[in-house]
Amino acid sequence: MAGAVYKRILLKISGEALMGEVPYGIHPDAVSTVASEIQEIHGMGVSVALVVGGGNIFRGIQAQEQGLDRVTADSMGMLATVINGLALQDALEQRGVSTRLMTAIAMHALAEPYIRRRAIRHLEKGRVVIFAAGTGSPYFTTDSAAALRATEIKAELLLKATKVDGVYSADPKKDPSAQRYESLTYLKALEMGLKVMDATAISLCMENRIPIRVFDLFEEGNIRRIVEGAPIGSIVQ
């Protein structure tokens, strides 16, 4: 096994990744798979932080389209990410990985409040840190939260886990002629409106020179290969 070329990464996992083959909620096998991948790179000495979405439980934008107030809907979505964070924390700790769940909305009975210096200290002590509840504010996606936290903890790489093997010019499941990009600039991703991450997240990474690696989460060993330096998926930099 090669050594890790990154000392600290932030992994962005969508809520949908935790559904597995079920249409809603959390599938134990999917959570177990993710936890095993994280355990592997943690064992290599990589400092690992996670940002988790909540789309498998509740999507604020869809609720808004159905008439729910946007601020209320986004708040509900942030709470959904905490449920996913608890599931990941439990799966990691069952594997002996020391973990801390930190939330942008205070809920002391369940998690620590997000404090940047405390989060960095946890990482320095070898703990996996899970960031939940997004940014704590409405109108911001968990992609934006991932870019923000990656900047704050000085991550060397932001890993965007998806269901496809990189960035495409269109949805490859709908358009067989979609072009796959191995590498592209932040500006090109913004100009072309590619669905890498939202514009706020990409701009924040561009400003702070944090590369974004988009990859297929469900290809076993991909996370390990990425931290070893393999050109898996697509990179935006």
Per-residue pLDDT of 37-85, as tens digits, reads: 999 999 999 999 999 999 999 876 677 678 889 999 999 999 999 999 9
Q: Give the Cα separation of 188 and 184 in Å (integer).
A: 6
Q: Is the pLDDT of residue 113 over 80?
A: yes
Q: In which region does residue 85 sit, left (phi positive, over 0), alpha (psi from -120 to 50) or beta (all else)?
A: alpha
Q: Give the Cα separation of 131 and 104 in Å (integer).
A: 8
pLDDT tier, 1 (very low <50, low <70, confident <90, very high otherwise): low
For the residues 181-199, what does the mean pLDDT come to? 93
Which of 53-67, 150-164, 185-199, 219-233 has the weakest average pLDDT?
53-67
What tokens were used for 51? 């940002």
Q: Which runs of consecutive H residues, i.e. helices, occur in 69-221?
A: 70-94, 116-124, 142-152, 186-191, 199-208
Question: Which of 78, 71, 236 lies closest to 166, judged by CA?
Answer: 236
**CATH domain 8-236 topology:** Carbamate kinase (3.40.1160)
The overall pTM is greater than 0.75: yes
- Mean of the per-residue pLDDT values of the chain: 94
Q: Is the pLDDT of residue 2 over 90?
A: no
- Residue 203: predicted pLDDT: 97
pLDDT, tens digit (0-9, with 9 covering 90-100), for 138-159: 999 999 999 999 999 999 999 9
- Residue 176: predicted pLDDT: 86
